[in-house]
Amino acid sequence: MQSDLRGIGMTSQRTRDRLAEILLEMGIESEIVLDVIRNAPRHFFVDEALATRAYENTALPIGFNQTISQPYIVAKMIEVLIEDNELQKVLEIGTGCGYQTFVLAQFAKYVYTIERINGLLIRARERFRKLNCINILTKHSDGNIGWPAHGPYDGIIVSAAPIGVPEPLKEQLALGGRLIIPVGEPGQQKLLLITREEEGFNEKLLDSVSFVPMLSGIDASR
């Protein structure tokens, strides 16, 4: 790996190992998820000025009024997604800086990711190219409608909270597929796991969470 990806000082392997230890203490049990987090260059996904804080278990600003997801929540959602589940195709709503997309790409054959803010997507695509992520496909679009052309998906992960679950996302789940989505007003969001079954959907409450709101339409600013 290039030296700027390996990291030095506050972005070193020791700092990354410490993050994995914290997630383990917080209840993440999957060894492979912890391993991927340990090896993911999170500092590469934030501004250089914030790189020294990249391995803290916190959300950080990424511009356009958005934040990179907290590592714990990324680990938690992916742990639930991969449990007893072979992942061919995964859809992610809310690419943001691309950190979670990169982590997902280590578990799925293909990751399809949608972002409504063009400026964020342009930067994320550049990062995927530098990291040689050939199994990530991106789209500048409104995640509320999903990406039907590539569905159905074995898993769908949503990184922004709508008030209610968008129907198209449920419809784009494969049989046995899992949708992990935060829903609700700011301050009272719940993380849900929705599984597609032979007849209908099973819904399970996972946690209380705090995500940025899921908006409608697209933002073309660069």
Stretch that binds ligand SAH, among 18-26, 112-120, 171-179, 202-210 (CB under 6 A): 112-120
Does 138 participate in binding ligand SAH (rule CB under 6 A)? no
Number of residues that bind ligand SAH (CB under 6 A): 25
Does 114 participate in binding ligand SAH (rule CB under 6 A)? yes
Q: How far is the CB of 155 from ligand SAH (least distance, A)?
A: 14
Does 93 participate in binding ligand SAH (rule CB under 6 A)? yes
Does 156 participate in binding ligand SAH (rule CB under 6 A)? no
Indicate which residue of 69, 141, 216, 221 is catalytic: 69
Report the candidate in 83, 89, 90, 75 with the shortest Cα–Cα distance to residue 26: 75
208 in catalytic set: no
Rounded to whole angstroms, the Cα distance separating 82 from 92 reads 14
The torsion region of residue 79 among left (phi > 0), alpha (psi -120 to 50) and beta comes to alpha
C-alpha torsion sign, points 157, 161, 165, 171: negative
Does 189 participate in binding ligand SAH (rule CB under 6 A)? no
Report the candidate in 160, 165, 210, 214 with the shortest Cα–Cα distance to residue 190: 210
Q: What is the DSSP string of 3-38?
A: HHHH--GGGSHHHHHHHHHHHHHTT---HHHHHHHH
Nearer to ligand SAH, 136 or 160 (CB): 160
Among positions 68, 82, 104, 183, the unique one binding ligand SAH when judged by CB under 6 A = 68
**Catalytic residue positions, numbered:** 69
Tell me which residues touch ligand SAH (CB under 6 A): 62, 66-69, 93-94, 96-97, 99-100, 114-117, 120, 142-144, 159-160, 212, 214-216
